[in-house]
């Protein structure tokens, strides 16, 4: 491919409002063009990267006995009504009607379609387990598309669905999928990624893992311990210990104007660890109040609270319930119809400062068991940097940020049961298959690799997914011998199966190299009058790991060897 | 791949209402499952065929210098408003709004997206010509989905867009695309196809060709002449000659109750060739009347009429206009505000019978030039079997039926002009590029191949696109030597790069062969106790073109050679 014929342009700056480097570089480098919020068209280099990633995805899915199928983008609402998700999912699902007023949806995930396809074709236990996968376009009407390909509305996804006759069999397969995912990300050249326990969200099921590319610009927060423990903050257990202390007397104390726990503790000279604060939410549907009492130094983890309540909630907007005195709400003597949740951090906490349920009044010396009685404690607190690891028990938790690049879920029988998919087991008893599902977004993976592997001048694509393997820069087209050398080299490389991007434009070297940086091709070959006189070509790595010269006559062979050696790293 | 693990089931009969054989066989063979009207999910065999076709499409598009890109499935309405097609296209385009009430559409074709992507990146004439293509899902809300994959609503399509600085350059490229299309269909194993001149329809532009797979179940009618002339009936010129005759007198004749031209001619004992009938339409928007006068033995070609009027029309439902006397409408003495169109067949026609514009009255001896004066004649008649070929002039037209499997259009500057895409020519003058576009639907191509190449028992896939190249049938798993032979052969074939479907189910041979017929794999190898005793395997072609035996020890090599030889046919 000649640069002069390649569609797309390289820019010095971006006019678009870019939040992160990968986005800015991929716009500047002519990789994509925004069509609407979260919707992009892709220029040839991205499509070339995408096809290489898709090849890796297919190979790894086939390796774990996957069978490629294709589900539709547009599905009848009836399919989603069966699983209950037609109403269960909010406005991130696009709904519309066809010319005959039939309700349709755009697929944002394909559990229903997978069950529909497999249903009635796997009626005996002898046909299990099996896994089907597709690579297909999906659409999610994200309210906040951002970061280029990090959070889009339309995207290409590899999604896989496995079917099993037992939870044990699913778990065995889940392990294989887990390993396949590790191989996929490594083969795509991603280095700094981890798998973490995660919340299953709208997918249902209990056990799930997310693969996270660790980066400061990540939207997700991850809790990590050296012992190997990893979890999305959303579901990370919070382990809190409280010191034994002699019980003090419960005392009413005036706290005029001290409405926050920080203010109260500072006013009373007490540690926030010895306080109990109230965080107030409302249920989305009813606006009913939910009061969470939690140790003053901790934050509420809303995902855990939501999972505990099994209801959607939002922070309370205005407090109008009798019994809740905003700024002075506490567990002692409160009279309210609100749901009350006690976080586990209060279990065993002694001599607490807490709201007095009267304006300008708090209590000190509150001991919940003594003063209130037995309550149920629930873990709804956010894990903290330096907190206790729930696995090794050390105070060694670290908080990182990451981009979710893939996920795997154990779904149970949520979909097979609701859609009535059954098989006959060895005893001729009808049973619902157990499912797992496994997703990777191609575009987000490309952006994550770019985010991890770039410099100020452009992406540094790993050899395994680079749009081209070698870029040949011809610095003097008008010089016959330079031109002959460059053209000969390109032909020779191509005949050896090397993917070459060839720049023979009559532009300044600086201009050509700036473009080459944006193409991010891993190996660059410079053919110039000076080199030609010396009888060599100059070969360097985009990541600056090497720079060398090869005699012109051996160049094609040497460069081919180099490319193959660089590819070896990804043979896992 | 083992048949026992393959998702999907083979059926003896189909419960679905199937209009054509390919549809019935692909449902029976476990190729696809209907999800909603015109929407299918695809089992692994179809996906395997589809990927082979996509590979051929990519190779042929790359061969004519195409660059692969990707446009979105979901597009903002604003893009289609620019070209005028947001309102120009009817309810076959799905329109909906996102969560922020922005208007979106599902892509049914991507001219607008292609211009959007190329716009601003090809600003100098030196960057032309170029061609970009994608393989992507499309959705058209067809009112009558039918025939399985022949007419669907959601489909995978290869669509290509070329950009040029002159009509001449487009025509040069159009020739290359034309040849590429011939190669594509041949490489996919299609034999009986032709390219025909066609109507550009909603795409705009003047010159276009359709590729038609000739088959009795085709929806399109094609006019063909041995001289090489081919045209979709919709746009086929109609050449009509009229004999010279001495002019008769114009005479009013009573024709009580004779309302059709057939009835009148039979009543008066006159030839329909010597009559002038009126065919009455209404404009869709205004309901205004359009009267077509045409020779009594011919039919109106509504596509040609529509193109002449540049308006959408429909056959008149009820005639309420004063001046039009239903059943007795004729050109002589008519007083009407309707648009009148004279078909070319009336040019030079002598002594016609025509309506008298009074109930129960016709004229005879009508001679338009003498009795009415000079009128403009327009060709709006349907070509007929045995009609005159517009190229060679012989009465040799044949009418065939076909399925449209691809199309190529010369678009002119319709899209670049309306969307404001320009480049600077050598004189620094701003100009609009000229476009061509080129489409092939993957699913319809699969169905067309199946329609052309099948027997009563299943599809007969060409080696180039077959889901697997060889099927090995193990007729006695319980017999150690048979089993060893079959398993060894499968391994050996796979190590030689042959794609093998392996059936080792413990089922009756008849059952296994019926399934094999439905898989349509071109080469079948039977490993049975009888053959094993003889030291051979039995090898036969799905199309029955050969049946032979190979010694077990040479079988893998011989079968591999056979597959490669069968593939050679498609090396074009």
For the stretch B215-240, pLDDT in tens is 999 989 999 999 988 888 988 888 99
CA dihedral (A464, A468, A469, A475) in degrees, to 10, reads -160
> Number of Cβ pairs closer than 8 Å across A and B?
175
pLDDT computed for residue B204 by the predictor: 56
What whole-number distance in Å separates Cα of residue B164 and Cα of residue B410? 11
Question: Cβ of A39 and B122 within 8 Å?
Answer: no
Distance CA A39, CA A24 (A): 16
pTM beyond 0.90: the answer is no
ipTM of this predicted complex? 0.88
Rounded-to-integer distance, Cα A61 and Cα A71, Å = 17
Contact A39 B76 (CB under 8 A): yes
Burial of A480 (0-12, 13-18, 19+ CB in 10 A): exposed
B44-63 and B167-187 are packed helices; what angle lies between their axes, rounded to 10 degrees?
A: 140
Nearest CA in chain A to B10: A121
Helices A167-187 and A44-63, axial angle in degrees (round to 10): 140
Q: How far apart are CA B187 and CA B463, in angstroms?
A: 10
3-state secondary structure B268-297: HCCCHHHEEEEEEEEECCCCCEEEEEEECC
A3/A516 Cα distance (integer angstroms): 10
- Looking at residue A279, its pLDDT comes to 96
The 3-class SS string of B372-418 reads: CCCCCEECCECCCCCCECCCCCCCCCEEEEEEEEEEEEEEECHHHHH
Taking contacts as CB-CB distances below 8 angstroms, the residues of chain A near B48 are: 68
CB atoms within 10 A of CB A229: 19
- Mind telling me how many Å the CA of B457 is from chain A's nearest CA? 20
Q: In what order do the strands lie in the sheet with A103-106?
A: A74-76, A103-106, A95-97
- Rg of chain B, C-alpha, whole Å: 29
- Determine the Cα–Cα distance for residues B435 and B111; give it in Å rounded to an integer: 9
CA A528 to CA A509: how far, in whole Å? 10
**Average pLDDT per consecutive 10 residues, chain A (572 residues; last block may be shorter):** 96 83 95 96 98 98 98 97 91 94 96 96 95 97 91 97 96 95 97 85 71 92 90 89 92 93 92 95 92 96 93 87 88 93 95 95 95 95 92 92 94 96 97 97 97 97 98 97 97 98 97 98 98 96 97 97 96 86
Q: Are B392 and B227 in contact (CB under 8 A)?
A: yes
| Neighboring chain B residues of A139 at a CB cutoff of 8 Å | 73-74
Where residue B117 falls among pLDDT bands split at 50, 70, 90?
very high
Q: Which of A43, A46, A74 sits opposite B39 (nearest CB)?
A: A74
Q: How confident is the model at residue B319 (pLDDT cuts 50, 70, 90)?
A: confident
Q: Which residues of A touch B154 (CB under 8 A)?
A: 72-74
| Per-residue confidence (pLDDT) for residue B279, from 0 to 100 | 96
> What does the DSSP 8-state code read for residue B127?
G
Contacts of B2 in chain A (CB under 8 A): none
Helices of type H across B189-316: 261-268, 302-309
Average the pLDDT over B487-499 and give the result.
98
Q: What pLDDT sits at residue B322?
A: 74
Burial of B94 (0-12, 13-18, 19+ CB in 10 A): buried
Dump pLDDT digits (tens) for B171-202. Answer: 999 999 999 999 999 999 999 999 988 866 65
Beta strands B361-366 and B193-197: pairing type? unpaired
Q: What is the pLDDT of residues B548-571, one digit of tens each?
A: 999 999 999 999 999 999 999 998
Q: Which of A30, A33, A69 sits opposite B41 (nearest CB)?
A: A69
Cα–Cα–Cα angle for B7, B8, B13, nearest 5°? Answer: 165
Per-residue model confidence as pLDDT tens digits over B524-555: 999 999 999 999 999 999 999 999 999 999 99
- What is residue B175's predicted lDDT score, i.e. its pLDDT? 93
Residue B168 above 80 pLDDT?
yes
Which residues is A482 bridged to in the sheet? none
Cα-based torsion angle of the residue sequence A122, A127, A128, A131 in order, rounded to the nearest 10 degrees:
-70
Produce one character per residue of B380-419: b if its CB has 16 or more CB atoms within 10 Å, e if not.
bbbbbeebbbbeeeeeebebbebbbbbbbbbbbbbbbebb
The pLDDT of residue B198: 80
Residue spans of beta strands (DSSP E) within B413-510 = 423-424, 430-431, 434-441, 454-455, 458-459, 470-474, 500-503
The SS3 call for residue A438 is: strand
Concatenated DSSP letters of A47-110? HHHHHHHHHHHHHHHHHTTEEE-B--SEEEHHHHHHHTHHHHS-TTS-EEE-TT--EEEE-S--
Per CB-CB distance under 8 Å, the chain A contacts of B504 are none
- The residue ranges of DSSP E strands in A217-345, in sequence order, are 220-224, 230-232, 251-254, 275-283, 289-295, 313-315, 339-343
- Decide if pLDDT at B53 tops 80: yes
Q: How far apart, in whole angstroms, are the C-alpha atoms of residue B571 and residue B302? A: 42
């Amino acid at each position: 491919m000649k640069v002069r014929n390649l569609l797309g342009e390289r820019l010095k700056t971006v006019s678009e409002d870019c939040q992160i480097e990968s986005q800015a570089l991929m716009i500047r480098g002519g990789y994509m063009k925004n069509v609407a919020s979260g919707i992009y068209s892709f220029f040839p280099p991205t499509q070339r990267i995408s096809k290489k990633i898709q090849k890796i995805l297919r190979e790894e899915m086939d390796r774990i006995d996957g069978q490629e199928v294709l589900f539709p983008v547009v599905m009848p609402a009836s399919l989603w009504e069966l699983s209950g998700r037609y109403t269960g999912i909010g406005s991130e699902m696009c709904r519309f009607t066809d010319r005959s007023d039939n309700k349709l949806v755009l697929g944002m995930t394909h559990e229903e379609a997978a069950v529909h396809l497999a249903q009635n074709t796997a009626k005996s236990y002898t046909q299990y387990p099996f896994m089907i996968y597709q690579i297909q376009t999906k659409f999610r009407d994200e309210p906040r598309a951002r970061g280029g390909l990090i959070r889009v509305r339309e995207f290409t996804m590899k999604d896989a669905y496995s079917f099993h006759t037992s939870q044990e069999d699913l778990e065995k397969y889940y392990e294989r999928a887990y390993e396949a995912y590790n191989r996929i990300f490594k083969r795509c050249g991603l280095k700094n990624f981890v798998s973490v326990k995660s919340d299953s969200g709208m997918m249902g099921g209990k056990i799930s893992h997310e693969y996270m590319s660790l980066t400061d610009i990540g939207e997700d927060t991850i809790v990590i311990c050296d012992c190997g423990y990893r979890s999305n903050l959303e579901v990370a257990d919070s382990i809190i210990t409280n010191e034994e202390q002699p019980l003090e007397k419960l005392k009413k104390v005036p706290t005029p104007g001290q409405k926050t726990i920080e203010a109260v503790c500072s006013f009373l000279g007490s540690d926030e660890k010895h306080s109990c604060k109230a965080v107030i939410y409302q249920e989305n549907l009813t606006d009913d109040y939910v009061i969470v009492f939690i140790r003053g130094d901790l934050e509420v983890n809303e995902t855990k609270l939501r999972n505990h309540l099994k209801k959607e909630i939002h922070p309370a907007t205005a407090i109008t319930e009798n019994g809740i005195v905003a700024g002075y709400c506490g567990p002692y003597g409160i009279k309210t119809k609100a749901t009350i949740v006690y976080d586990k951090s209060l279990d065993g906490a002694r001599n607490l400062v807490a709201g007095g349920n009267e304006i300008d009044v708090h209590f000190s010396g509150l001991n919940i068991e003594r003063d209130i009685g037995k309550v149920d404690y629930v873990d709804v607190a956010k894990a903290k940097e330096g907190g206790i690891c729930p696995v090794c028990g050390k105070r060694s938790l670290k908080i990182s940020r990451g981009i979710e690049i893939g996920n795997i879920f154990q779904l149970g029988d949520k979909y097979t049961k609701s859609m009535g998919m059954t098989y006959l087991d060895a005893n001729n008893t009808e049973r619902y298959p157990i499912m797992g599902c496994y997703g990777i977004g191609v575009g987000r993976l490309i952006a994550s690799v770019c985010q991890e592997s770039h410099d100020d001048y452009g992406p540094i694509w790993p050899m395994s997914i680079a749009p081209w393997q070698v870029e040949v820069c011809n610095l003097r087209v008008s010089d016959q011998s330079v031109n002959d050398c460059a053209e000969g080299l390109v032909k020779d490389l191509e005949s050896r199966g090397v993917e070459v991007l060839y720049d023979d434009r009559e532009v300044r070297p600086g201009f050509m190299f700036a473009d080459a940086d944006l193409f991010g091709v891993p190996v660059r070959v410079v053919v110039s009058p000076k080199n030609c006189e010396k009888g060599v070509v100059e070969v360097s790595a985009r990541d600056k790991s090497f720079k060398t010269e090869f005699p012109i006559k051996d160049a094609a062979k040497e460069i081919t060897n180099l490319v193959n050696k660089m590819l070896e790293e990804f043979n896992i």
